[in-house]
Amino acid sequence: MQRIAVDMDEVMADTLGKLLARYSREQNTPLTKKDIEGKWLWQVLPPEGVELIDSYLLSDGFFEDIPVIEGSQEVLLRMSRRYQIFIATAAMAFPSSFDSKYRWLRRHYDFLSPQNFVFCGDKSILHADFLIDDMPRNLASFQGEGILFTAPHNVNTTGYRRVNSWQDVDAMFLT
């Protein structure tokens, strides 16, 4: 059975969406995903905006109620019948996120076994056939085939097979 590792933030969890909504509301400045295409958030925001975003990420329970990315539950459920699915998230940058991330996964993807959750930093440690991730640097060090999940910051990245949505993941792995 082939093994697919799946990233959480921007692939299963709309973390950026939550960040932008909160920033827009608190700063009274609308900021959308469209506005930051091809850039990192820290390239677009003033230094105090970057600090604000960091404070959101570090705040207690931030990762508790992030919206699920459309289609991820249905497609992962079907994939889990045909592949070994591991969830691999770079949690070490935000140690306060461990508990929230665990609970979030259990709440929204109860068909996945916690034995297959991996909270890590450097994703080159993953032994899997595929890694679906939005971060090119994670795909670059991964030993299997990296699949790039579209996020605003990576729209201009090349060199990987790309999926724009879970519908695309479905088409790639289930048809």
DSSP string, 77-95: HHHTTTSEEEEEEEGGG-G
By CB under 8 A, how many residues form the interface with a copy of itself? Answer: 28
- Among residues 127 and 161, whose Cβ is nearest to a copy of itself? 127
9 annotated active-site: yes
132 near a copy of itself, rule: CB under 8 A: no
175 near a copy of itself, rule: CB under 8 A: no
164 near a copy of itself, rule: CB under 8 A: no
171 near a copy of itself, rule: CB under 8 A: no
Contacts 24+ apart (CB under 8 A), 36-43: 36/152, 36/153, 37/152, 37/155, 38/152, 38/153, 38/155, 38/156, 39/152, 39/153, 40/153, 41/16, 41/153
Site of interaction with a copy of itself (CB under 8 A): 3, 5, 86, 88, 91-92, 95-96, 98-99, 102-103, 113-122, 124-128, 143
